[in-house]
Amino acid sequence: MKKIAVFTSGGDSPGMNACVRAVVRTGIYHNLDVYSIMYGYDGMIKGNIKKMQSHSVSNILQRGGTILKSARSTEFRTKEGRQKAFEELKKHGIDGLVAVGGDGTFTGAKIFYEEFGIPTVGCPGTIDNDIFGTDYTIGFDTAVNTALEAIDKIRDTAAAHDRIFFIEVMGRDSGYIAIECGIGGGAELVMVPETTTTIHDVVKSLKGLRKSKTSSIVVVAEGDEEGGAADIMEKVKSEFKGEDKEFKVTTLGHIQRGGSPTAKDRILGSRSGMAAVEGLINGKSNCMAGIINDQVVYTPFEECITKSKPLKEEYLRLQELLSI
């Protein structure tokens, strides 16, 4: 292997730049030519590929987002689009790929490898922490800390006015951000896609808490089965008719994706990037470089894509126990 290329795809996450930096500098350390692909699979198809030097990734470790950009590519979902991408890679003599992203990124990489055989190792870049094969994903820790800072501030105003706040965090299919924010922020309730919490349950809990608390925080993962925070608030509010209680909603949205990555995400991104390059050198392919129990583990893309990553039962119990 002489030439490799790195790209970021899907939703951006803090720490992706640390990962790209590690890929470039690890590759150069091992005497490889390292290339970047701008705008993910779309850039691969369009030949948006350039050679990187060590200085190309200077001063990016602390930056959020991704210097390589990200874009959706409907064309890559077609065999013709993937053929164009392969031809562009061959023009540059690319022997291996490092794909930084989540499920969608790894699904595309898996299909691409099966059709054209270019070795690919992935790095788990998503704030949702929903990828099987790694304890944490790049960007998750930063997203939790960003959301937690907002929740702490909302707690101040909730307490000042005796309000009940419903705070929506990201997590369409995973409640990891919500549960960690709930535990870390002292939320009275957390609603996640992995467990069923009915409106009746919420109302019962909030009315029970009124005996000891004048304000409450309910953290809602955007993918909860009862809907988003605004929908849930309206349903709950209707059960408090005639009672002097004020309800508010805050949707944190994309602020969770931005910002300077935490030390944990910078280190995780760096370790994953190094592991991906050294995995390629050692013959690894069609897999993701994750960290489990503080050790690098290579998990086949097939498992990353098809296997679910359940919430820790201890976290669910801890949230329930501490919220009384």
**CA angle 306–145–36, rounded 5-degree value:** 60
Of 12, 42, 103, 128, the active-site residue reads 128
**CA angle 236–231–317, rounded 5-degree value:** 65
Buried b (16+ CB within 10 A) or exposed e, 217-245: bbbbbbbbebbbbebbbebbbeeeeeeeb
d(CA 128, CA 136): 9
**CA angle 103–108–114, rounded 5-degree value:** 125
Beta strands 163-169; 33-37: pairing state: unpaired
Known catalytic residue at 130? no
Residue 136 tokens read as: 């944490």
Coil, strand, or helix at residue 185?
helix
Task: Pick the closest to residue 88 from 70, 67, 112 (CA basis).
Answer: 112
d(CA 124, CA 121): 10
> Any idea what DSSP says for residue 73?
-
Given the structure tokens 């409907």, which residue do they identify? 74
Query: Active-site residues: which are they?
Result: 128
